[in-house]
Amino acid sequence: MAVGEECAAAVASQVRHRWLAAAFFSSVDVAIVAGLPRVPTNYRDAPTCGMWGPHVSRCFIATFFNKPLGVLLGFVTDARAYWVTRSLIAWNVNDQDTSLFLYASRDATMHVSDGAIHGYDSKIELEPEHASLPDNVAEKFPFIRSYRTFRVPSSVDVASLVKCQLAVASYDAHGRHQDVTGLQLPGVLDDMFAYTGPLGAVFSDKDVDLYLWAPTAQDVRVCFYDGPAGPLLQTVQLKELNGVWSVTVPRYRENQYYLYEVKVYHPSTSQVEKCLADDPYARGLSANGTRTWLVDINSETLKPASWDELSDEKPNLESFSDISIYELHIRDFSAHDSTVDCNSRGGFRAFTFQDSAGIRHLRKLSAAGLTHVHLLPSFHFASVDDNKSNWKFVDEAQLAKLPPGSDEQQAAIVSIQQEDPYNWGYDPVLWGVPKGSYASNPDGPSRIIEYRQMVQALNRIGLRVVMDVVYNHLDSSGPFGVSSVLDKIVPGYYLRRNVNGQIENSAAMNNTASEHFMVDRLIVDDLLNWAINYKVDGFRFDLMGHIMKSTMIRAKSAIRSLTRDVHGVDGSKIYLYGEGWDFGEVAQNKRGINASQINMSGTGIGSFNDRIRDSVNGGNPFGNPLQQGFSTGLFLEPNGYYQGNEADTRRELATYADHIQIGLAGNLKDYVLRTHTGEAKKGSDIYTFDGSPVGYTSSPVETINYVSAHDNETLFDIVSIKTPIGLSIDEKCRINHLASSMIALSQGIPFFHAGDEILRSKSLDRDSYNSGDWFNKLDFTYETNNWGVGLPPRDKNEENWHLIKPRLENPSFRPLKNHILSVFDNFVDILKIRYSSPLFRLSTASDIEQRVRFHNTGPSMVPGVIVMSIKDAQNEKCKMAQLDKNFSYVVTIFNVCPHEVSIEIHDLASLGLELHPIQVNSSDALVRQSAYEASKGRFTVPRRTTAVFVQPRC
């Protein structure tokens, strides 16, 4: 069926060659496609995800219009061939008699008509190769391993050709045209132009050298401006050598602003474009990154007092196994803190107010043993305007008067959410510069100085700083828009594309390709920038699985090479971890060996352990929110959601216990556990419900154990929606603490979302990335936990509003200050217990395998109870090394049952165990009732309680 003329006109109106579009649409039928994406109203202004934007792409249109995939509107629109080395082009051509020709046009005048290519400058015959792809090429591009290869004549000036519009066309044995497509160039660019020399601005006493890697550019100039918004001062020509453009300018240019003007063929428009772009190696920016600030990052004027001595003040860190992590959004920390100067709230400077409510809270956590604060993205991202004068706010006093289950609060937030100061920031533009919206002034030096002051202030209260880095994707692509940078300079290189040439978007948008040499290099260089210039103590990699394992290994090696004597930092103390999810185009090593959970075993790089998260909480973040888990009442206190009959749920509870015990043992793949079936199995031979191995690490420092993070609901919200609706707030508080304690007392690295220790709520918002200060509020005065502030935003939550609304409206769900303080006190106690003994922080797999045992296992296990013992050398004659000078034995019992449990463990009889002294003095009256009867090895633990027993040394 033909689509109405309005559809064709809508698409045609966006095409720059409108006369071609008119000719095209007048002669071809268009197929109806359900859900045809909306066409942007302004092609140039649309965000450029994919080849045309998030809404529509030329390849998409070509797929559904009655034309060959490779040709639309008179020019080549896809890129199905790969120029993989200087001498080889690969294409998925089946006909063995096919001949191939390479076409090039420097001015991008090529077009296709009457079955022939016109407007080219060069036509080069390619010689078929009888061999398959070379091993090194197949390793780099495994997904095209089966493609046929064609040789480029040695006489061809490849360095000139890559600057052109390019196409390859195939012909049959009779010379008849078969197909035509564009080329993807990263392979040949890496082969010919991989570069390890200086990039960005390099300062000397009298001059500044500017270097830009842009091998496909036809011309590059640098434009200097008078200030962040002032007029153009001068345009200076750069010269090219082997793909690198450079120029030397006088030192007086320092502190001026500049942009590169890059003349380059851009496949997304099929034209040679003049693009204005920031320096990819920028170290300073104007507001919103409209210009690069030419700054010497080592200038003394940018250093806070005693900055160079900060390495001497770093909090002590003996081993990565000593780490514990507190995940915090910079704006959340202080946006509502009246003890912080109003002009500093929500920004870097808030961390320098040493008597603020937030800093007092962090001090308490630090004193209990917490080692690291993980800050959500703090580099230059797109979603928040750096200019504070443009921000819009809701009237929170009016919102507070609305009913707790109303949808009016979210409507007010949504109405301004693109213009308010809030976003998590997972939409990177430039990785190497602090975000201007968090600085007192986005222009000039403030963002640099204040970021350093923040790191310094946190270090001085005993907390190391982790930076959340987002190297897996970029906010924008294409030749237009201030948020596109890398794709303006070397179009098509930095971003991963599919076999048709479209940009992959599985990581959100504009996936980057770390398998390409200069992308890998940019990532490693950027990490070194933050480690050296900002003295950051660790890095958390967003969607690490979308980055190649080789990049992560190289990053680790580069960071470990940093020394205090040479670089002012000790790289051996900088920890790396990330999200090792394996999905999208990189899944199962399709694009090379990626940094997934399984692949990262043995690297010493951590990955988030979703096995323990889902087992403790129940279900997973993408399933029904009512699914219960080990801590939330499965089998023991059902909430009415059907997860099977009694036998099914008991078995599921026991399975979750197995998964949790492997997590408590560092998620080691070789740790042997007696499972609920009675079988002894390695962690790697125990499987999740979707068939993934539970244990996958080779070292405890490779697992990040957690039950909640910024993604998905807070821990309190998880407990509130999964437990029976009539459960009291007192019992919810006990479950909240019990879940946190499983993480805090696990082998590996415990990770906590800010506010889990004070019952933080986001009003059941499952994805608060753009939900404003209102839903993301943190209250370090402990007066409120932010429960019941309205239905969470419709976009991400409406499908569950029918579950959320009655809970928000139920006053029994809202905790009081005494509940918040009680949970916080218990959290501080459990942290202190972790750091009271090195037995909770074993650093090697062999130590865990030798010392850690689980006792309530097998078919006769008591449901809902985990008993973990950790053994130290009993005396000097013992072959086992003595690690703890205070305790020779530790037994931890997690009782998630809604009733007291007495359990006899004969292997633990006749020991001199007693309740941990911290719990003896706990403000929690129930935990103080925990008891041990040595003669029978009998432990009595109250309902929903974590009890720790220790054997003191004589």
Tell me if residue 579 is catalytic.
yes
CA distance 347 to 324: 24
Listed residue (756, 772, 761) closest to 808, CA to CA: 761
CA distance 900 to 801: 35
**Torsion on CA atoms 620, 621, 622, 625, rounded to nearest 10:** 80
Question: Over the Cα atoms of the chain, what is R_g?
Answer: 30
Listed residue (24, 493, 400, 546) closest to 213, CA to CA: 493
Residue 903: alpha-carbon gap to chain centroid: 42
Do the Cβ atoms of 617 and 632 come closer than 8 Å? yes
Q: Which long-range contacts (CB under 8 A, 24 or more apart) does 515-518 make?
A: 515/140, 515/548, 515/591, 515/592, 516/186, 516/189, 516/190, 517/190, 517/194, 518/189, 518/190, 518/194, 518/195, 518/213, 518/490, 518/493, 518/494
CA distance 380 to 243: 27
The half-sphere exposure of 226 on its side-chain side, counting CA atoms within 13 A, is: 5
| Cα–Cα separations (whole angstroms), residue 491 to 73, 165, 486 | 21, 12, 7
CA distance 753 to 374: 9
- List the beta bridge partners of residue 430: 380
Cβ count within 10 A of residue 75: 23
Cβ count within 10 A of residue 604: 17
* Token pair of 297 as six digits: 């990052």
Do the Cβ atoms of 791 and 807 come closer than 8 Å? no
Q: What count of residues does the chain have?
A: 954
> Which residue is associated with the tokens 């890496």?
190
β-strands 464-469, 538-541: how paired?
parallel
* Residue among 337, 385, 542, 767 flagged as catalytic: 542
223 Cβ contact list (under 8 Å, min separation 6): 232, 234, 235, 258, 259, 260, 261, 276
Residue 525: alpha-carbon gap to chain centroid: 18
Amino acid (1-letter code) at residue 1: M
- List the beta bridge partners of residue 219: 263
CA distance 761 to 783: 13
948 Cβ contact list (under 8 Å, min separation 6): 745, 833, 890, 891, 892, 893, 915, 916, 918, 919
For 545-586, give the secondary structure using H, E and C: HHCEHHHHHHHHHHHHCCCHHHHCCCHHHCEEEECCCCCHHH
CA distance 321 to 606: 11
CA distance 917 to 19: 83
Residue 402 sits at φ, ψ, to 5 deg, of: -80, 155
* Token pair of 300 as six digits: 């003394």
CA distance 288 to 363: 34
- List the beta bridge partners of residue 375: 328, 467
* Residue among 190, 504, 579, 702 flagged as catalytic: 579
CA distance 686 to 692: 8
CA distance 323 to 576: 11
State the catalytic residues: 542, 579
